[in-house]
Amino acid sequence: MHPRAATQELVHYSALPAETGPLWAPDRLAVWPLEGGRYGIDAQYFGSTGVTRAERQAQRLASAGLRAGVQLDGEGALVRLGPLTHGAVWIALESFLGRAIEDSGATPGPS
């Protein structure tokens, strides 16, 4: 069975995971434009595992050649990058979210 072909019966009997998505995925992610065609990224990690996940993500980014700062706050931690070039933004986003899923059945959106 294709993982995206879940039926109502399957979902009814499936237990929900305690934590969804990759452990490195942030709880909140923001990208914004800066001067000169560059961008900034903030990734917020909340909860008791927030600081650990943020520090691990900073290591993942470093292994991709991107330097990120980790700032601790009362709710967890914030990973901040920037200014980044357009290409570096895509590398950072893949580091946060994983590579895009290739789906041969996908229909392209409007241009």
Between 84 and 17, name the one with better pLDDT: 84
Tell whether the model's pLDDT for residue 26 goes beyond 60: yes
Task: Output the pLDDT for position 111.
Answer: 46
Q: Round to whole Å and give the CA distance between 110 and 107.
A: 10
Per-residue tokens: 93: 């986003």
Tell whether the model's pLDDT for residue 83 goes beyond 60: yes
Tens of pLDDT, residue by residue over 43-67, are 999 988 899 999 999 998 898 888 9
pTM, full prediction: 0.68
Domain ranges of the chain: 47-99
